[in-house]
């Protein structure tokens, strides 16, 4: 079975790596021949991830590259498109591209539709607000990374599967390592684009750190004035991200209570939990489902971060218990080892192909409506 995968960004983007590239070894082993053609190239993706200019002048090249990919789509049995074929094109053109294609899966791990229906320009809202919904209606399957995204897709299609963004446990420690007992380390991982989420609680982190030997490890953040918060800035690198997280005592994922944040898939939490670390998360969107409050982590609304972190600081046994429960939850619900056969089965069914695969384990999150 031949599959053309059309990510939004190149391999430097976490969405490309974790929603597509990490599945390739399993897929190839089970009879899938996959080609990957990102919309934005490496230079554009690096610019976005680095917080620099988005190099809009490269958009023409991106559109031409995507048109070439779609024009050869008939050579494949299935196309998997990340979000949409071409951002900001009207639905009429998007529909034409979709119909040039073979059966396609629409995969989305962010609320891309809010870039249109919440856009400040009234013209954009009028022209594009229903574009992604109409595309979802035409898809053979919609793979949504969170309940919020799945609920949106169900407004337009009955063919919806909840497929979280997951980790390959082979890259993560098989057992919990003891972090530095002399300094309590709080880990955050993200990008320049998501740095404002960390900034939003830096005052609370500073209050918690006062009088304690605490370090906040900001992996991939754009440095900012952290006031009294003891932040150590760490450049994100794929080959060091797991080791950096594994050396912390706790992982955090603050989020604003916005429509865009509702669509987030909680991947930062899953990474920390895979490292056997307890987590503290804003009770927003997918965070509510990933973290069972008091069981596999803690929830913290605005103003509650110092209290939640103090509980973990004062109780090492609680840290261990939550960390172990979080790791088990990742193993059962958010690992590549569980989801690779499910995704392969979803794609084969969407293409109408009979591909011999292991039976996916039964789990409500994996079901297609």
154-208 confidence digits (pLDDT tens) = 999 999 999 999 999 999 999 998 888 889 999 999 999 899 999 999 999 999 9
Distance of CA 286 to the CA centre of its chain: 10
More confident residue, 321 or 360: 321
In words, the CATH class of domain 169-333 is: alpha beta
* Model pLDDT, residue 364: 41
* Model pLDDT, residue 310: 98
Q: In whole angstroms, what is the distance from residue 301 CA to residue 151 CA? A: 24
More confident residue, 216 or 98: 216
Percent of the chain scored above 70 by pLDDT?
A: 92
Is the pLDDT score of 357 beyond 70? no
Averaged over 324-345, what is the pLDDT? 97
Asked if domains 2-166+336-366 and 169-333 share a fold, the reply is: yes
Beta-bridged to residue 34, according to DSSP, are: 3
DSSP 289-322: HHS-BTTTBEE--TT-HHHHHHHHHH-HHHHHHH
Match 């209570």 to its residue by tokens.
257
> Residue 369: pLDDT band by 50, 70, 90 thresholds?
very low
* Model pLDDT, residue 193: 87
Averaged over 256-280, what is the pLDDT? 96
What does the pLDDT look like over 134-157, one tens digit per residue? 999 999 999 999 999 999 999 999
* Model pLDDT, residue 365: 45
* Model pLDDT, residue 101: 83
> Residue 360: pLDDT band by 50, 70, 90 thresholds?
low
* Model pLDDT, residue 51: 56
* Model pLDDT, residue 281: 98
Averaged over 27-37, what is the pLDDT? 96
Locate the domains of the chain by residue range.
2-166+336-366, 169-333
Give me the phi and psi of 287, to 5 degrees please.
-55, -35
Is the pLDDT score of 56 beyond 70? no
Structure tokens at 6: 């059309």
Is residue 120 within 8 Å of 261, Cβ to Cβ? no
Distance of CA 223 to the CA centre of its chain: 22
What does the pLDDT look like over 117-136, one tens digit per residue? 999 999 999 999 999 999 99
Is residue 296 within 8 Å of 325, Cβ to Cβ? yes
Architecture of domain 2-166+336-366: 3-Layer(aba) Sandwich (3.40)
Is residue 188 within 8 Å of 216, Cβ to Cβ? yes
Is the pLDDT score of 100 beyond 80? yes
Averaged over 264-276, what is the pLDDT? 97
Is 251 strand, coil or helix?
A: strand
Averaged over 62-88, what is the pLDDT? 93
Averaged over 339-365, what is the pLDDT? 79
Is the pLDDT score of 368 beyond 90? no
Averaged over 215-235, what is the pLDDT? 95
């Amino acid at each position: 079975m031949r599959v053309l995968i059309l990510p939004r960004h190149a391999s430097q983007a976490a969405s490309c790596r974790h929603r597509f590239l990490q599945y390739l070894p399993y897929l190839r082993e089970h009879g899938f021949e996959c080609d990957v053609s990102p919309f934005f190239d490496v230079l554009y993706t690096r610019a976005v991830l680095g917080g620099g200019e988005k190099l809009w002048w490269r958009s023409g090249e991106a559109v031409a590259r995507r048109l070439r990919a779609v024009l050869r789509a008939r050579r494949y049995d299935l196309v998997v498109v990340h979000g949409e074929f071409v951002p900001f094109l009207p639905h009429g053109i998007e529909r034409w591209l979709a119909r040039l294609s073979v059966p396609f899966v629409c995969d989305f791990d962010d609320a891309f539709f809010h870039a249109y229906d919440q856009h400040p320009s009234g013209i954009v809202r009028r022209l594009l607000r229903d574009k992604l919904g109409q595309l979802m209606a035409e898809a053979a399957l919609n793979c949504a990374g969170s309940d919020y995204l799945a609920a949106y897709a169900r407004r337009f299609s009955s063919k919806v599967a909840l497929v979280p963004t997951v980790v390959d446990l082979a890259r993560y420690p098989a057992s919990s390592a003891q972090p530095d007992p002399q300094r309590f380390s709080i880990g955050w991982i993200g990008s320049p684009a998501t740095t404002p989420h960390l900034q939003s609680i830096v005052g609370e982190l500073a209050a918690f750190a006062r009088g304690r030997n605490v370090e906040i490890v900001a992996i991939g953040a754009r440095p900012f004035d952290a006031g009294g918060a003891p932040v150590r800035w760490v450049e994100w690198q794929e080959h060091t991200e797991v080791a950096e997280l594994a050396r912390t005592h706790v992982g955090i994922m603050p989020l604003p209570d916005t429509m865009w944040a509702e669509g987030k898939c909680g991947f930062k939490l899953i990474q920390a939990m895979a490292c056997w670390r307890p987590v503290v998360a804003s009770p927003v969107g997918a965070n509510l489902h990933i973290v069972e409050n008091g069981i596999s982590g803690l929830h913290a609304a605005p103003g509650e971060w110092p209290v939640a972190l103090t509980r973990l600081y004062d109780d090492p046994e609680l840290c261990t218990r939550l960390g172990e429960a979080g790791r088990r939850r990742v193993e059962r619900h958010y690992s590549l080892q569980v989801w690779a056969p499910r995704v392969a089965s979803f794609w084969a069914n969407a293409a109408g192909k009979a591909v011999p695969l292991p039976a996916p384990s039964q789990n409500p999150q994996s079901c297609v409506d």
